[in-house]
Structure 1
Amino acid sequence: AAGAEAIVAVGGGSPIDTSKAIATIITNPEFADVRSLEGLAPTKNPCLPIIAVTTTSGTAAEVTINYVITDVEKNRKFVCVDPHDIPIVAIVDPDMSASMPTGLCAATGMDALVHAVEGYITKGAWELTDMLHLKAIEIIGRSLRSAVAGDYAGREAMSLGQYIAGMGFSNVGLGIVHSMAHPLSAVYDIPHGKACAMLLTAVLKFNAPATGEKYREIARVMGVPNVDTMDEATYRQAAIDVIQKLADDVGIPKSLSEAGVKREDIPFLAESAFNDACTPGNPRDASKEEIIAIYESIF
């Protein structure tokens, strides 16, 4: 109605994702019902130009082909994937994230780590994206604690780390950490990054048999010594442990019940997760029953 020629999106993942949906519908009016954009959207036209100014260090929405919308009527979040929605300009300036509260810095920073880790082990991963994801894991692993403590250099490093992770996973997709986190945010309003962080190591345990030697490299770039002398079970556990230690150090809750989740809702959460657009990319195929078991393991 305003006749805008461009959209300037300032904020974290939610405002940038909202701008992607609006900008897409403006140039593709046949998708006026945003639900019709779920999954790989068959739009014909590039979206209205978006200038994205990120104020958090987590989602990398400013450089990805993905966006997430909440369907409040059905209590669910759904993922839209569309190469037509990438902002034409991304401004990633650590000054914009310097005032993030501690909790938001921790949650968004862990979201960036999940992007890098899931992108590294997803079915679509390959050498070029592995390079991006391992560098992102390294940067985040050494920077998130200081960023949460308010150190500017840490915030600056996290701005770069989350951006690199976005450049990677936008090309290869994610997995069931994100699938399982989306309904937690939709039903309980748990911040997305916190939901992802709570689920990460539980999902990593489930995925381990389908990851080859990749956990060794995760452990290596996160600073675990002597990984080349470890057997498979040891380096896989070392990777899980070093990631959990980081989550603990930045104050991520360990249990779903602590975050207000009700056990009777787990079947609904699992059904939503199973049908999520991120699920097919998981390195190990997961049934609804297995997703229920993962939720239960950290309840």
Structure 2
Amino acid sequence: MTERNFDFLMPSVNFFGPGVISKIGERAKTLGMHKPVIVTDKFLESLPDGAVAQVRRSLDAAGIDYVIYNQVEPNPKIHNIQAVKALYQANQADSLITIGGGSAHDTGKGAGIIMTNGDDITKLAGIETLKNALPPLIAVNTTAGTGSELTRHCVITNEETHYKFVVASWRNMPLVSFNDPTLMLDVPKGLTAATGMDAFVQAIEPFVSVDHNPITDSQCIQAIKLIETSLREAVANGHNLEARTHMVEAEMLAGMAFNNANLGYVHAMAHQLGGQYDAPHGVCCALLLPYVEEYNLIACPERFAELAKIMGENTDGLSTRDAAELAIKAMKQLSEDVGIPHSIKEIGAKIEDFEHMATNALKDGNAFSNPRKGTKEDIIKIFQAAYDAK
């Protein structure tokens, strides 16, 4: 790689490890929070000793009042962030605490965006469009997947157009994140697989991105190794704390990597599947990954050959191209092992939507760092390959 100058964005404060959730009241007090809105979903709120219950106990002990928004849904919509804003203003709140996976964090970020940067978030889609700081935000993570608790990305779906878009800005980054693997022990295997594959994709795409650098490379390599050795076990035995801990380490590393090296066509296309069919983001990413990377392979075969080695494939005596193809095979194998569906047909994809989705994918903020520059026809062919998969 030609040496070049680059900036590197790091999240502020990140609490990591079993039991760290108990520190949230203390940290909220340090930040001067007096009345945060807790942004979460009904299921997490219902758990008697789950993440929400533990956060509430810690806030109560610190003497911090709060209100709860519990209507977070997968692929958060504009009406979700507007509802959080309304609750925030009606209760004269001063901060936000998000509890959950990427959907909760994106809902909180989205609400913060429209509170301080204008009510129409669709006009803010893109990279570094925000002029004003968000309200103070703490993110409590309960899945090892999106990395949203420490990244600059906010992904929202326009429910009227089914268009899923990204607002990427350093102003979106939570001031503090909490990653306590004990909160993840009861995550169902399907969600563990989906979020784990999202983390995997978020380590692969920055590694082959045109914006990768030596620091992000090292983060991607370690994240991929951790996922290769831990995701299958986390899916098979969710109460394996070591596997859960390693998956949290991996998703944090991947999040920091793509915060700086960006992503590619997998995410650009997955956003269209998620927006169009309200499908789980991690599943969309996993389904598209091998077909996008088969397309990308000729742009940087040596990077894919290195990926094969990182994923434990034996590349001795192979040409660069043959070794690179082993990386694609390993991606497919991991998806199959953790129970990801085989085809985007299984999540409701329709051939007649491919042209529209391909057009929007090329406009997505993640498309510009993909290693191979494609046309709308290329993207349609990738959707078709993922549709025809057996």
| TM-score interval for Structure 1 and Structure 2 normalised by the shorter chain | over 0.9
Q: 1:206 aligns with which of 289, 295, 298?
A: 295
2-side partners of 1:19 and 1:211: how far apart?
37
Q: Which residue of structure 1 aligns with residue 276 of structure 2?
A: 187
2-side partners of 1:193 and 1:242: how far apart?
17
Letter in 1 for 2:144: S
2-side partners of 1:36 and 1:19: how far apart?
18
2-side partners of 1:3 and 1:284: how far apart?
48
1-side partners of 2:285 and 2:366: how far apart?
13
1-side partners of 2:183 and 2:356: how far apart?
37
Stretches of structure 1 that go unaligned for 5 or more consecutive residues are none
2:318 corresponds to 1:248: no
Q: Which residue of structure 1 aligns with residue 138 of structure 2?
A: 51
**Structure number with higher helix proportion:** 1
2:207 corresponds to 1:109: no
Compute the displacement of 1:228 (Å): 4.5
| Bigger RCO (CA 8 Å, 6+ sep) | 1
2:156 corresponds to 1:69: yes
2-side partners of 1:205 and 1:110: how far apart?
17
Compute the displacement of 1:43 (Å): 2.2
In the TM superposition, what whole-angstrom CA distance separates every residue of 1:172-200 from its partner, at most 9, and x where no partner exists?
A: 21100001111111111110000000000
Compute the displacement of 1:62 (Å): 0.8
1-side partners of 2:300 and 2:247: how far apart?
26
Q: 2:306 aligns with which of 217, 225, 235?
A: 217
Q: Which residue of structure 2 aligns with residue 81 of structure 1?
A: 168
Letter in 1 for 2:132: N
Compute the displacement of 1:262 (Å): 1.4
Q: Which residue of structure 2 aligns with residue 265 of structure 1?
A: 353
* SS of corresponding position for 1:253: coil
2:386 corresponds to 1:288: no
* SS of corresponding position for 1:79: strand
Letter in 2 for 1:113: F
Q: Which residue of structure 2 aligns with residue 170 of structure 1?
A: 259
8 Å contact 1:63–1:166 — kept in the other structure?
yes
Q: Which residue of structure 2 aligns with residue 35 of structure 1?
A: 122
In the TM superposition, what whole-angstrom CA distance separates every residue of 1:143-195 from its partner, at most 9, and x where no partner exists?
A: 10001112322111111100110011001211000011111111111100000
2-side partners of 1:255 and 1:206: how far apart?
17
* Equivalent residue pairs, number: 296
Q: 1:13 aligns with which of 102, 108, 127?
A: 102
2-side partners of 1:183 and 1:192: how far apart?
10
- TM-score normalised by the chain length of structure 1: 0.96
8 Å contact 1:142–1:222 — kept in the other structure?
no
Pair member with larger Rg: 2
Compute the displacement of 1:293 (Å): 0.5
Letter in 2 for 1:69: I
Q: 1:92 aligns with which of 179, 182, 195?
A: 179
2:137 corresponds to 1:24: no
Q: Which residue of structure 1 aligns with residue 48 of structure 2?
A: none
* SS of corresponding position for 1:144: helix
Q: 1:279 aligns with which of 359, 364, 367?
A: 367
Compute the displacement of 1:44 (Å): 2.3
1-side partners of 2:345 and 2:114: how far apart?
38
Q: Which residue of structure 2 aligns with residue 124 of structure 1?
A: 211
Runs of 4+ in 1 over 6 A off after TM superposition: none
2:234 corresponds to 1:147: yes
8 Å contact 2:305–2:321 — kept in the other structure?
no
1-side partners of 2:214 and 2:321: how far apart?
24
1-side partners of 2:197 and 2:129: how far apart?
31
Letter in 2 for 1:255: S
8 Å contact 1:57–1:162 — kept in the other structure?
yes
Stretches of structure 2 that go unaligned for 5 or more consecutive residues are 1-88
Letter in 1 for 2:276: V
Letter in 2 for 1:37: L
